[in-house]
Amino acid sequence: MITVSEALDRLFSLVEPLGIEEVPLLGASGRVLAAPVEAMRDQPPFAASAMDGYAVTDARPGMSFDVIGEAAAGARFDGLVGAGQAVRIFTGAPVPEGATTVVIQEDIDRDGGRITITDRFSRGDHIRPAAGDFRKGDRIDAPRRLGPQDIALMASMNIARVPVIRRPKVALISTGDELVMPGEQPGPDQIIASNTFGLHALLRDLGAEPRLMPIARDTETSLRNVFGMVDDADLVVTIGGASVGDHDLVAKVAGDMGLDRAFHKVAMRPGKPLMSGRLGNAMMIGLPGNPVSAMVCGYVFIAPVIRAMQGLGREAVSRTTAPLVAPLEANGLREHYMRARLGPDGVSAFDRQDSSLLSILGEADALIVRPPHDPPRNTGDIVQIVRL
Ligand SMILES: Nc1nc2c(c(=O)[nH]1)N[C@H]1C(S)=C(S)[C@@H](COP(=O)(O)OP(=O)(O)OC[C@H]3O[C@@H](n4cnc5c(N)ncnc54)[C@H](O)[C@@H]3O)O[C@H]1N2
Ligand code: MOO
């Protein structure tokens, strides 16, 4: 058995970077920017009023001005503002030539075409300088996962099409005679396939393009057939059939089909029977079938692999620390990812840690990471956690 960090290194060495495609701005959120993009213009392209009020050359309480025109957003005042003159102005409008200050309308008394600045007058010119937000040529660097703020910024920069990394295509294969799909009627010895659905959701959140393959039955032929359908997947993920039982056929069939295996078995709990390698043009990861094992491996291995495929670096899932609010017994020889609850005073592991318990995983918002052979820990000890 290799360590978790050795397994992750081997997984990263199997990753092949994906190509680039161009998408419309509206389709770019959540995608990874593949190349730097540059602003096509200054923003704002002119000095703009930040408030509704009057543009003047100078402003002090008691000063009076003749209103000589109006500047609105989208329709500038074309003339020059001179001493003793004011232009009615609205938020976002270009500040007319000659004006140095916008006096907000709350600080003005107006009498027909004449205004006077009242005692309420407060400092500040209320002018946004030209290019105060960004300049033509300013860059957004790549790689970067694009969020809603980036989309707004690129829209403002007049970038209508965006170069992004192609979505990793992931084929998800559940294996086992006991499995039926959610919504189907299970037989007396059957259960519902859950892992593929949890992993599908995780992969979608990571910006991948997951595809559910038909459930492979516990025969070599069935498994071979489903492997044969994965088509152009970048990553094939099998679930179950990874261990040592008579019906655990994934390693055998993948091997027969040419899997160049990088490892099988990791000193990790849950997740021990994990395997990986290259299979044709794809990377393959074989996950253990126990539902919590599959999901924990999803967070610890698949998420970093998907990020690496997208060019976002080769980093383990991020960890932080928290104090224990209850003691823990000594750990065994595998790195243990304990389902845990994080509260204001610290973190506590659930009593029940069996790797079949999705209800506990659903309650968990963190995993406590125990190194191999970690001694017993007391309340108050600082432990490493992965937040879910
Ligand atoms: N003698 C040994 N037995 C087992 C060992 C071992 O070292 N020696 N390892 C145990 C560990 S640890 C794990 S984890 C499991 C993993 O086994 P498999 O990967 O072969 O998984 P299966 O046997 O196919 O299934 C295990 C369990 O999970 C359920 N399952 C499978 N796929 C799904 C799915 N898509 N959705 C929901 N549930 C699923 C399956 O019904 C079984 O209950 O092996 C231990 N055994
Ligand atoms: O890896 Mo098994 O994952 O301990 O239940």
CATH number of the domain where residue 32 is located = 3.90.105.10
Q: Which ligand is nearest to the CA of 269?
A: 2
Same domain, 35 and 161: yes
pLDDT at 48 over 80: yes
Same domain, 305 and 263: yes
pLDDT at 122 over 80: no
Mean pLDDT of 350-374: 98
Q: Which of 386, 242, 193, 199 is nearest to 300 (CA)?
A: 386
Our CA angle for 206, 371, 317, nearest 5°, is 15
Output the pLDDT for position 120. Answer: 82
- What's the gap in Å between 176 CA and the centre of ligand 1? 10
Mean pLDDT of 88-111: 97
Same domain, 339 and 377: yes
Rounded percentage of the chain residues whose pLDDT exceeds 90: 96
Choose between 247 and 340: higher pLDDT: 340
Output the pLDDT for position 124. Answer: 84
Mean pLDDT of 348-376: 98
- ipTM topping 0.90: yes
Same domain, 267 and 161: no
Output the pLDDT for position 308. Answer: 97
Based on its alpha-carbon atoms, the radius of gyration of the chain, rounded to whole angstroms, reads: 31
- What's the gap in Å between 241 CA and the centre of ligand 1? 7
Helix, strand, coil proportions of the chain in percent (round to 5)? 20, 35, 45
| Strand 275-279 to 282-287 pairing | antiparallel
Mean pLDDT of 202-215: 97
Could you give the maximum distance between any two Cα atoms of the chain, in Å? 95
Task: Collect all residues with Cβ–Cβ distance below 8 Å to 21 and sequence separation of at least 6.
Answer: 163, 164, 165, 166
CB 171 within 8 A of CB 281: no
Same domain, 53 and 171: no
DSSP annotation of 374 reads P
Q: Is the CB of 195 inside a 6 Å radius of any atom of ligand 1?
A: yes
Same domain, 259 and 333: no
Atom of ligand 2 nearest to the CA of 293: 3
Mean pLDDT of 101-125: 92
Output the pLDDT for position 115. Answer: 98
Q: Which ligand is nearest to the CA of 337?
A: 2
Q: Is the CB of 195 inside a 6 Å radius of any atom of ligand 2?
A: no
Mean of pLDDT over the chain: 96
Domain that holds residue 26: 20-41+145-165
Output the pLDDT for position 121. Answer: 78
CA 375 remoteness from chain centre: 35
The reply to whether 133 falls in a domain is: no
Taking residue 245's Cβ as centre, other Cβ atoms within 10 Å add up to: 9
Output the pLDDT for position 236. Answer: 98
Task: Collect all residues with Cβ–Cβ distance below 8 Å to 194 and sequence separation of at least 6.
Answer: 182, 291, 358
Beta bridge partners of 32: 145
Mean pLDDT of 133-144: 98
The reply to whether 277 falls in a domain is: yes
Tokens describing residue 153? 């910024």
Atom of ligand 2 nearest to the CA of 273: 1
CB 350 within 8 A of CB 360: yes
The reply to whether 138 falls in a domain is: no
Q: Which of 55, 43, 140, 145 is nearest to 91 (CA)?
A: 55
The reply to whether 283 falls in a domain is: yes
Our CA angle for 158, 159, 162, nearest 5°, is 170
Same domain, 13 and 26: no
- What's the gap in Å between 323 CA and the centre of ligand 2? 26
DSSP annotation of 143 reads S
DSSP annotation of 191 reads E
Same domain, 122 and 245: no
Same domain, 12 and 37: no
For residue 133, the surrounding DSSP H or E stretch is: none
- What's the gap in Å between 288 CA and the centre of ligand 1? 6
- Using the 3D structure, point to which of 309, 333, 356 is the last residue of a domain: 309
- What's the gap in Å between 62 CA and the centre of ligand 2? 80
pLDDT at 80 over 90: yes
Same domain, 116 and 151: no
DSSP annotation of 215 reads P
Q: Which of 40, 23, 39 is nearest to 31 (CA)?
A: 23
Same domain, 289 and 355: no
The reply to whether 134 falls in a domain is: no
Could you give the CA distance from residue 323 to residue 63 in angstroms, rounded to a whole number? Answer: 63
Alpha helices (H) in the chain, listed in sequence order: 4-14, 148-156, 195-205, 220-227, 250-256, 291-297, 303-309, 358-363
Same domain, 325 and 255: no
Ligand 2, atom 4: closest residue by C-alpha: 270
The sign of the CA dihedral 307, 311, 314, 318 is negative
Tokens describing residue 177? 């005679």
Atom of ligand 2 nearest to the CA of 268: 1
Reduce the DSSP state of residue 302 to 3 states and report it: helix
Could you give the CA distance from residue 47 to residue 98 in angstroms, rounded to a whole number? Answer: 12
CA 254 remoteness from chain centre: 32
